[in-house]
Structure 1
Amino acid sequence: MEEEQAKLRILMFPYPSYSHVCPYFELAKRLSHRNFHIYFCSFAFNLESIKKTTQKQLPASIELVELNSPYLPQLPPDLHTFKNLPPNMESARFQAFQMSRSSFSEIFNNLKPDLVIYDYFEPWVPKIASPQGIPCVFFPTVGAATNSYFHHIHTHGSVSTFPFQEIYLLDHEKERVKAAVKVETQDADQEFGDGTLRLSSEIVLIKGSKVFDAKYIDYFSVLCGKRVVPVGLLVHDSEGGNEQDSDILQWLSGKERSSTLFICFGSEYFLSKDQIQEISKGLELCDVNFIWAVKFSAKVDCVALEEALPRGFLERVKGRGMVVDGWAPQAKILSNPSTGAFASHCGWSSVTESLYYGVPIIGMPIRFEQPINARLVVEAGVGVEVVKGQDGVFTGEEVSKSIRKVFAERSGEDVRSKAKTLSEKIREEEEHELDEVAEQIVKLCLKNKKH
């Protein structure tokens, strides 16, 4: 089978958001080590970012393929991704992606791959490939709990019969999800929801592990009528870095083991000034070391970091707190023994990274599927969620209370122990899960070649 497998060429086509491109590229690297040849297709901006962040030269078994960027005057070329994207440009970015269909079709016809792995909002990909006899596999980058929750609603018309009551959305969270979906699908055809999944060839890949979310993987498989195959957590290595990384990590390494909180809300969400004020208040109410990465959009007017923080805050937390203006080396911080918890928006990539390194999570979900991920973490016993008001706003007092649960109360010892145990089990299964992915892809391709 390995001899046949070496001949197989896979075209991978992620949605051009940073949180989609990264796990797709991690999967590409792992498949390339299993004798597949990978064509990785995206806009130039994303490909350039991959080149910059790849410390070692790309293996010959991965080729970067540029997708033509359609011109939209309201969308500069460097914004064909969600990274640093102001909210008022999200609709334009989505429109630009949909306009790239003809470019993808040309790429597909030129490459003639053996299989395509495609993402959300791309029902036209299998429509291009399937008539030519090429199998297509859907790979959503959010977890099985989220997929099963929303697919259950699609199938049954109600969430009241969802079999896992630990997973739920509050009223204000449901409204935010509806608003986000409306923006993404306002110019799309009816295939964008269930159709993207339905068009997948026999299997669906999922970013997750049966060690952590087995029951949701199994239920998602029942709902969609396809075998759902976990690819593991796809956590990238923490090698490389720059001078700022060294300063942060040197400061962190000077703290006691498991004594420091890392706070970060991902690459695609920017805190409001009010949210920054409340988090600051919470940090002052508890005596815990912390590293806080605060990001502002480069494309919108914003105050300086010092102005966004409470007056005198940096001086009052001097010695126990470090505030980073912009990006911080998340994987390196989470893998550092001095890190004791991760206060996160609970994007799936951040959750899986924290799980992989055995770091408890303090959930502060904001939008999309993040509340579901936060509740999944709480259900597994590896984190807590900050309580918010009915309007979805968290207060400094509740932020402080959640931090103390993990760092100062006995319950924190149990959370840390469970997080460590889960990390060990996830790592033990990582290679087995990837082997299963490779085997299923080979079977699908060989079955197609026989027909």
Structure 2
Amino acid sequence: MAQMEREHLSVVMFPWLAHGHVTPYLELARRLTSANDADIDVTVHLVSTPVNLSAIARHQTPRIRFAELHLPAAPDLPPELHTTKHLPARLMPALKRACDLAAPRFGALLDEIRPDLLLFDFLYPWAPLEAAARGVPAAHLSTFSAAATSFVVHCLGRGRREGCAFPFRGVGFGSAEEEAKYMAQYILREELPDALVPERNRLLLSLARSSAFVAVKTCADVERPYMDYLSELVGGNKEMVPVGPLLVDADAAAAAAGGGTSSESESDRVMRWLDAQTPASVVLVCFGSEYFMSEQQLARMARGLELSGERFVWVVRFPRETEEGDEAARALPRGFAPAPGRGLVVEGWAPQRRILAHPACGAFLSHCGWSSVLESLAAGVPIVALPLHIDQPLDANLATELGAAVRVQQERFGEFRAEDVARAVRRAMRGEESHALRRRAAELREVVARNDADDAQVAALVQRMARLCGKGQQRVAVPN
């Protein structure tokens, strides 16, 4: 009896140099290489800087291989800062410029690997050009919500030309004028004179240069209207392909965040503390892996948690080095020391998904980064939304529109009062509104779990990539 010869698909993945980008790319790599496709075996080559790859070294397998991209030397940017982790904010433009200057080196990696396909992040709109010069098709893999991406593309195009507001009022800001102000403050920052790629063009060029489809880290059952609108905005001939929420288990998240033995012992301490609490009685407080609060923000947050009267686990982060003009806090407010049974402060990293899944966790006070929103929905935990910058206000609006979040009142994003933090936390934890939030969060938990477990999405992505490369269309029978 003859059997069909299996084809091989070699994919280069090129995520931005941030934990929140590398992790979902790596998770998709894991799923692609373990997909039960009857005809196609996938091998992934994940490209990043040595400092990023060293943090995830244990995830390299025979079918997930790492390729180092060495950035050009720069006086203020040593190799240990070729990552956004611990990168001073003033050096972010320098890191982007170094990546743009590394385009020829990336091309040389493509010559060496000779992949069938490239999956690239939006900060590298030049990457698909390097691939095209070698006859390699490329597709953009977005780690942002379709709601936030479609909002930005709308404001850069149709909204600016026609003066119209984003059509999904629950996610937007109500008027074209307010949305233009938001874009100017958080998205369209001042360009450096030596910038190789204008910031406003990175996303638009990446979408335009994506071949045939754009892969999106999302749940189609949650974001279908925004995916459809994004497809319309980019010309209507480019499909938005959901690849699921790409939820990562706690161990993999710890490795990607650089956690080790100390993180494991701290994790055990947190879980033991939660075990002693009653169900739905604790608020998890965390504002992402790369945001440092100012002294004023930290003091107001501490006071807000005290005023709320609720138990909490607060994950705080402090910068590694002090810089002149840097407003980031270096320590908790003087005198802030919650009673052992009232609150737990964790410095650095904590097992966010494990905490959210614990029965004691009743709400999540979050900046609303997209991964955090998805993890909270996956756990069925309501969100207390306190967005701070970039796309977070849009994801906070989406979570609220879905009925799974309450907002902390803010005059400006990044600013808040202690009293408003306390009020929003109490709304999420007490009374009839909290019951409604939990019912809706429980419904969304089923939706997200179904999407995350849907192997058909990954199988469909494999088939789309294969067709883009001219594979998977003809089969050769070989004898057993």
Q: Tell whether 2:226 aligns with 1:216.
A: yes
SS of 2:388's partner is coil
Partner of 1:99: 101
User: Shift of residue 411 of structure 1?
Assistant: 0.8
TM-score, length-scaled by structure 1: 0.92
SS of 1:116's partner is strand
Q: 1:271 aligns with which of 276, 282, 293?
A: 293
- Give me the whole-angstrom Cα distance separating, in 2, the residues matched to 1:94 and 1:181: 14
Partner of 1:10: 11
Partner of 1:37: 43
Q: 1:207 aligns with which of 210, 213, 217?
A: 217
Show CA shifts across 1:246-292 (max 9, x none). 11111012111111111111111100010011111111111211011
Which consecutive residues of structure 2, in runs of 5 or more, have no partner in the other structure? 36-40, 255-262, 475-480
User: Shift of residue 361 of structure 1?
Assistant: 1.1
Partner of 2:270: 248
**Bigger shift: residues 422-431 or 172-181:** 172-181
Which consecutive residues of structure 1, in runs of 5 or more, have no partner in the other structure? none
* 1:152–1:447 CA distance, 2 compared to 1 (3 A): farther
Aligned pairs (5 A) from 1:368-387: 368-387=390-409
Show CA shifts across 1:209-240 (max 9, x none). 11211111111112113000011111101247
Partner of 1:440: 464
Show CA shifts across 1:278-321 (max 9, x none). 1111111112110111101102256652xx32x43214x43210
Show CA shifts across 1:171-228 (max 9, x none). 7643421454746994315852422111111000001011211111111112113000
Q: Does structure 1 conserve the Cα–Cα contact (< 8 Å) formed by 2:404 and 2:441?
A: yes
SS of 1:242's partner is helix
Q: Tell whether 2:183 aligns with 1:174.
A: yes
Show CA shifts across 1:351-400 (max 9, x none). 11212222211111111110000000000001111111257521001101
Partner of 1:423: 445
User: Shift of residue 5 of structure 1?
Assistant: 6.5
User: Shift of residue 415 of structure 1?
Assistant: 1.0
Q: Does structure 2 conserve the Cα–Cα contact (< 8 Å) formed by 1:86 and 1:300?
A: no
Show CA shifts across 1:68-124 (max 9, x none). 132112012121111121111111111221122111100001111010001112121
- Give me the whole-angstrom Cα distance separating, in 1, the residues matched to 2:85 and 2:265: 23
Aligned pairs (5 A) from 1:51-450: 51=57, 54=59, 58-158=60-160, 160-169=164-173, 173-180=182-189, 182=191, 186-188=195-197, 192-224=202-234, 225=236, 226-239=238-251, 242-300=264-322, 304-305=330-331, 308-309=332-333, 311-315=334-338, 317-390=339-412, 393-430=415-452, 431=454, 432-446=456-470
Q: Does structure 1 conserve the Cα–Cα contact (< 8 Å) formed by 2:245 and 2:451?
A: no
- Give me the whole-angstrom Cα distance separating, in 1, the residues matched to 2:4 and 2:245: 28
**Bigger shift: residues 213-222 or 399-408:** 213-222
Show CA shifts across 1:28-59 (max 9, x none). 1111112310001100011011125x4xxx33
- Give me the whole-angstrom Cα distance separating, in 2, the residues matched to 1:442 and 1:233: 22
SS of 1:410's partner is helix
SS of 2:66's partner is strand
- Give me the whole-angstrom Cα distance separating, in 2, the residues matched to 1:180 and 1:253: 45
- Give me the whole-angstrom Cα distance separating, in 2, the residues matched to 1:156 and 1:304: 43
* 1:168–1:390 CA distance, 2 compared to 1 (3 A): same
Q: Does structure 2 conserve the Cα–Cα contact (< 8 Å) formed by 1:134 and 1:448?
A: no
* CA-based RMSD: 2.3
* 1:5–1:362 CA distance, 2 compared to 1 (3 A): farther
User: Shift of residue 407 of structure 1?
Assistant: 0.2
Q: Does structure 1 conserve the Cα–Cα contact (< 8 Å) formed by 2:466 and 2:472?
A: no
Q: Does structure 2 conserve the Cα–Cα contact (< 8 Å) formed by 1:94 and 1:184?
A: no
- AA aligned to 2:52 is N
* 1:3–1:43 CA distance, 2 compared to 1 (3 A): farther
Q: Does structure 1 conserve the Cα–Cα contact (< 8 Å) formed by 2:308 and 2:425?
A: yes
**Bigger shift: residues 13-22 or 189-198:** 189-198
- Give me the whole-angstrom Cα distance separating, in 1, the residues matched to 2:277 and 2:25: 35
- AA aligned to 1:188 is V
SS of 2:363's partner is strand
- Give me the whole-angstrom Cα distance separating, in 1, the residues matched to 2:246 and 2:148: 18
TM-score, length-scaled by structure 2: 0.86
Higher relative helix content: 1
* 1:258–1:182 CA distance, 2 compared to 1 (3 A): farther
- Give me the whole-angstrom Cα distance separating, in 2, the residues matched to 1:49 and 1:428: 30
Q: Does structure 2 conserve the Cα–Cα contact (< 8 Å) formed by 1:257 and 1:337?
A: yes
* Identical-residue share of aligned pairs (%): 33
SS of 1:229's partner is strand
Q: Does structure 1 conserve the Cα–Cα contact (< 8 Å) formed by 2:367 and 2:392?
A: yes
* 1:291–1:392 CA distance, 2 compared to 1 (3 A): closer
